Each structure stands twice: as C-alpha cells, then as structure tokens.
Chains A and B, each alone.
Chain A
Amino acid sequence: MSKVSLRVAGLKVHYRTLRGDVKALDDVTFAVADGETMGLAGESGCGKTTLGKSLIRLDGRMRHVDGTVELDDEELPIGDTARMNDFRFREVFIIPQYAMSAMNPTRKIGKMTKELLESRGVRFETVRTELKRRLELVGLAHDVLDRYPIELSGGMKQRMVMVLSTLLNPSLLVADEVTSALDVSTQRAVAETLVDFRDRGFVRSMIVITHDVSLVYQIADSIMVMYAGKLAEKAPTDVIVDSPRHPYTQLLISSLPEVGVKYADKRLTGIPGSPPSLLDPPAGCRFRDRCPLAFDKCSEEPPFVEVEHGHYVACWKA
C-alpha cells in the first residue's frame, strides 16, 4: 500500500434543483492507495453515492463545480461525459446499486457482453476464456451466457454484474451498496467475492460504499466516514471501529447494537437531531448542532487533517 491509486482533491459536486444547488459534495480530498479497499460509510444523504457516481458518470442533474480526480497520476475528466468514456470500464468502474436490473432484459447475457466489449473495441474472443474462468470463480455455470437475465436469481445477477464490471481489470472499482438488498448469507458471499477479486488483481483498488459500518468492517482495509457532504474521518478499519476520534463516528458506532447486546443490560442511544440541509449548509463544522463536544471554535470549519499515520479527522477536538 505505498503507491497512490486514486487522488481526489477539493472535489465539489452539486445537484441542481429548483430551490437551488444541493451541495452534495463539498471540498472532498482523500487518496486511495494501490491495492486498498476503502469502505465509504455514512447515513443517507451524506453524499457517499454522489461521490461514487462522480468518479464514473455524472447524471443529468449533477454538476462538477470544482476539484480534481486523478487515477494513476492521470486526471479524470469527470465533468466531460464524452471524454470520460475512455476511462470507464477499462480504468474505473462502478457496480451500481441496481445490479438486479442492470442487464438488458431482452438480450442473452453472453450476446450483450459481446456487443458491449466490441463496442469498446475489445474482441470478445480475446477475453472469452478469462470470462469463463471468472464465471467459475464466482460459481456461475458457463451457460449463464446463453440465458436471459430474468432466468437468473438475484444473487446470480449480482455476481454476473460483478464479473462483467471487472472484466477489463479496471484500476478502481466503486461498489455502491451492492449488498444492501441481499439476504445476510448472500451478502457475505458477495462481499467476500469483492475481496477475492482484489486479491486476484482483477481490480487494483476498491471503494465500497455502504450505510452498514459492520459490513465494511469485515472486508475493508480502511474506512472513510462522511457527514453532510463532507469527510468526517478516515482511518484503517480497526482504528475507526476501536478508537474513532470524530464525535460523529464515535456516536455512530456506539449506537449499533451487536449480537449479544441486550437492552436490559446496556441501553444504547442514538444521535439526537438530524443532519443539516445541503441546500444551504451552515458555516463551520456541520456536525456542530448535534455534537456533544461542540465549542466556540466549531463555528470555523475544521480541516480534514492527518492526526496520526493514515488517520485523518475533521474535528477541532480530535
């Protein structure tokens, strides 16, 4: 984990709405090392999905305002849909939330794969053996290629999309809530496949977006926590879970019941209040209103700084 794979600097992405711009990502700066699996956790509306999307494809309402994204020392033209096409699939790829409906329902999977590859200038024959090898690896029979997506179960579709998405060995893979719709047993299999793909070098580094901290705890090397469009904390997995520094991370982790913890023995508490509106976010630390440790200085915005090797926090108290 020495070389940096992804470097995001000062990234700002806004959503256009009638009532004004929603500042979904505000000055986000971080790096992902080569070979690192980074978990990206946060509550709904904190900007984690926006971050994942902006690395691949901004949708119609998203606007790249500022900041740069570099992948393997090459700047990604994220604001330019057409130029970005060269990087998609080959260099950077997203496994979307909607894996269940990601494949064209009226094409056989193999045919779709072939057409897709050839549209990107890759001859199907050159990857056919590798494709079959990877299907075996995730436990899919070769004949899925001759089937229609509707004939596959949810878990099979999920695995198929994973194989398809990583077929050209992208440098960076973004997995957006890939497990949230699945049952626990399938969830684990999918999460472990992701790790396996990384270990086998199908992808070099990964960002796993989820609302479930305990899931990324199982598979990620590091965890980055977002709050209201900003980064709160990033550190190696064990550090985040065992000794978080940001009050938000602390409260979040302590509010999660674990198997074996009972109400009668240990009454957990949540975080009072709710996140600020991103239409017009307050100045200073955005967690200030809900933070038990808030003090005067919090009206200034805390920088996202490295407090310890590999441990970044945006809090004056950290």
Chain B
Amino acid sequence: MATTSLAGKPEAERCCTVDRVSMVYKIGAFGGTDLPAVRDVSFEVRAGEVVSLIGESGSGKTTLGKMILRLCPITGETITVDGVDISTFKRRRLKTYYRSVQGVFQDPFSSYNPIFKADRVFSMIKDEYFAEVNAAEWRRKVAASLEAVRLSPDEVLNKYPHQLSGGQLQRILIARALLLDIRLLVADEIISMLDASTRIDVLNLLADLKAQGLGILFITHDLSLGNYVSDKTVILRRGRIVEMGAPDRVFGNPLHPYTKSLLTSVPQLHRKWERVEAELAAGRAGLTGRCIYHERYPNGDGPVGLDAERPTLAEAEDDHFVACFQADGEETC
C-alpha cells in the first residue's frame, strides 16, 4: 500500500477547506418545504492533491462543488480557500477569487454557448482578466495552455463546439482554467459524458496537473474512476459524509455499510458482482451489528468542526474516517 497520507503537511499547504457546510434547497414558492442537500460536510483539499467526492444522485456532491465555486450560496459554516472565508465575496472580490479557483462541468456540450465559437471561453477570460495583454502575447499564452492539455491550437481554435469532440471540449475547458493562476480546480463529473476510450486521457491529464501542485476536487459517481487518480476519497450519501480517507483504505477495507453496498453494485470488469459480494461479506463478518463511530463515541458526541479534525466522523484507522453506520444517516443507531 502506497501511503499517500498528507496528514503531516503544514497548514500552509491547505488549499481549500470546507468546514461544516450545509445547504438547504427551498422547494416551492416562498420557502415551503426544505430539502437538505448538504449537511455538516467538512473536508479539505491540499495543494498537489486530488480529492474524489463520490456519491450517487442526490448526495449533494454537485451542490458542494457549486458552493466552492460560489455558484450557489453557502450556508452553515464556512468554506475557506487559502485561509480566507469565501462565502461573503462580492463582485470584485469574487472576480479575484475566480483567478485562483475554477471549475469544469459534466456536460462538455452544454458548457459552450452553441452559437459562438469554442474559443469564446478564452476570449471571455481575456476580456475580464487580461484586457491589457496584447493579441500576439495572448495567442502565445493560449497556445501554451492548450499544449499543457495536449491539444494542438490549429486543431481546436476557430471552431464551433459541435465540430469538436467531447474530450477536446473538456480539455479546452481545462486549458481555459489554466490561463488563470489557479490553485484549485473543481472537476464536476468531467468525464462521465465522454466515451470510454477518451476518458482515461482526461483523467491522466488531471493527474499531471496535480503533479504540478494543483489541488483538484474531483466529483464523480463512479468509484473506479475516483479511485484511479485520487489521494483522498470522500463518500457522500444524502448530503452527509459516510466514509473518508485514503482510497486504498476506503476501497480496500470499506467499513460503512453504504460504501460496501456501492462497491457490490458497481459493475467491474473481470470481477462479477457475486464475487465482489462474497469477498466483502467475508470482510464484513467482524463488523456485523457494530458501529465503529458509536463504539468510539457512545454518546454520539464525536469531535465537531475542523479543529478536532473531522466532525461526526470517527477515525477507524490512520487516515480512514467513518460515520455512524446507521445506513440512512437520518437517525443514529
């Protein structure tokens, strides 16, 4: 097992910290029903680290990503980036914030305005952030950035989105983000709509960027993809973290029943469902009827907030945290 734990790294390398964040969707006119989308979620993304946020639909993973990008309002406690609370940023400050934090979304075709050429995503950045840069220098900058994502400028510039493939479009979006001095990239399901044969190249690209010191929040519903690139895995269910830690621990030794059920359902090549199920059942034998969180904190008074490391999570082993086993997370066991 490769130990990728970054627990010992100094505070300064924390890139983005999410601390006890909640988000409630109001449904219906003038409030009405509340739908909690994210509940008390805390984690951090460090520089040079890929954190996978894994969850099914309705787990709140996309909402979290949008909160970090300030595309939806932040409720609950705080999200800090480089130690600064971002929840109150307005206009100018927000614009400056976007210099260092950028996002790429799931649907490459919907990320482009269909009636404009694809390079409009670059010119928008130029107009807003690099108005003073002259055209020739800007072209050089764009070319360099395209090369960083392994695209040749002749191939992709001056074309309309529908003339490019999904993989190319996603890479252009990453190149766009690289034009700014970003420290954190939120990648929301960026490969789920790509064809299998091109997915892996985009994933590899993320890994390369990480090697250059970028912090990446990789949001996905696919466990195998999350596992491939990440240094830390966060599993979300209905807006709560159920398990978190180094990928080889979370996937190699899943503790929470929900993580296990996910693992037994994900279709894998070379391993049929029955086999995976049997393997996990064997691993589970010792855990039946137990709840590690409540064994550690019988009164449910586990440490809260980032100061005490992880809220509502118990450290089961080094760099492996787990929430109460009550599968639904609604009530405790």
Contacts and interface: CB of A to CB of B under 8 A. Distances in A.
Q: Do chains A and B touch in the complex (CB under 8 A)?
A: yes
Interface of A: 43-44, 183-185, 187-188, 191, 211-215, 217-218, 241-242, 251-253, 255-265, 267-271, 274
A43 B200 contact: no
Given A214-B267, A217-B269, A257 B197 contact: no
B196 A269 contact: no
A263 B273 contact: no
Contacts of B229: 262-263
B224 A261 contact: yes
Given A214-B269, A258-B224, A263-B203, A183 B57 contact: yes
Contact of A259 (B167, B221, B251): B251
A257 B221 contact: no
For the complex of A and B, 10 pairs with smallest distance between CB atoms: A271-B197, A183-B56, A257-B228, A43-B195, A270-B201, A188-B265, A214-B267, A215-B267, A184-B265, A270-B200
Contacts of B221: 183-184
A212 B223 CA distance: 14
B227 A261 contact: yes
B278 to A, nearest CB: 14
A184 B195 contact: no
Interface string B159-200: 000000101000000000000000000000000000111111
Task: Identify which of A188, A191, A252, A257 gathers the most chain B CB atoms within 10 Å of its CB.
Answer: A257
A211 B196 contact: yes
B268 A263 contact: no
18 contacts: A184-B265, A185-B56, A185-B261, A185-B262, A188-B265, A215-B267, A217-B270, A218-B272, A252-B197, A258-B269, A258-B270, A262-B228, A268-B204, A269-B201, A270-B167, A270-B200, A270-B201, A271-B197
A156 to B, nearest CB: 15
A43 B196 contact: yes
Given A44-B195, A188-B265, A255 B224 contact: no
Contacts of B270: 217, 241-242, 258
Contacts of A265: 2
Interface of A is mostly: loop
Interface of B: 2, 56-57, 165, 167, 195-201, 203-204, 207, 221, 223-225, 227-229, 247-248, 251-252, 261-273
B269 A256 contact: yes
A271 B197 CA distance: 5
Given A188-B265, A191-B267, A259-B263, 17 more contacts: A185-B56, A185-B262, A187-B265, A187-B267, A211-B195, A213-B269, A217-B270, A218-B267, A252-B197, A255-B197, A256-B196, A261-B224, A262-B227, A268-B228, A269-B201, A269-B204, A271-B197
Nearest to A44: B195
Contacts of B252: 260
Contacts of A257: 200, 203, 224-225, 227-228
A271 B199 CA distance: 9
A116 to B, nearest CB: 30
Interface of B is mostly: helix
A270 to B, nearest CB: 4
Contacts, number: 112
Contacts of B167: 270, 274
Contacts of A43: 195-197
B78 to A, nearest CB: 30
B202 to A, nearest CB: 8
A193 to B, nearest CB: 13
Contact of A212 (B198, B267, B271): B267
Nearest to A181: B57
Contacts of A251: 197
Contacts of B267: 184, 187-188, 191, 212, 214-215, 217-218
Task: Identify which of B200, B203, B264 gathers the most chain A CB atoms within 10 Å of its CB.
Answer: B200
B268 A258 contact: yes
A218 to B, nearest CB: 5
Nearest to A184: B265
B197 A270 contact: yes
A78 B200 CA distance: 39
Nearest to A266: B228
Contact of B207 (A211, A259, A263): A263
Contact of B198 (A184, A260, A264, A271): A271
Nearest to B166: A44
B55 to A, nearest CB: 9
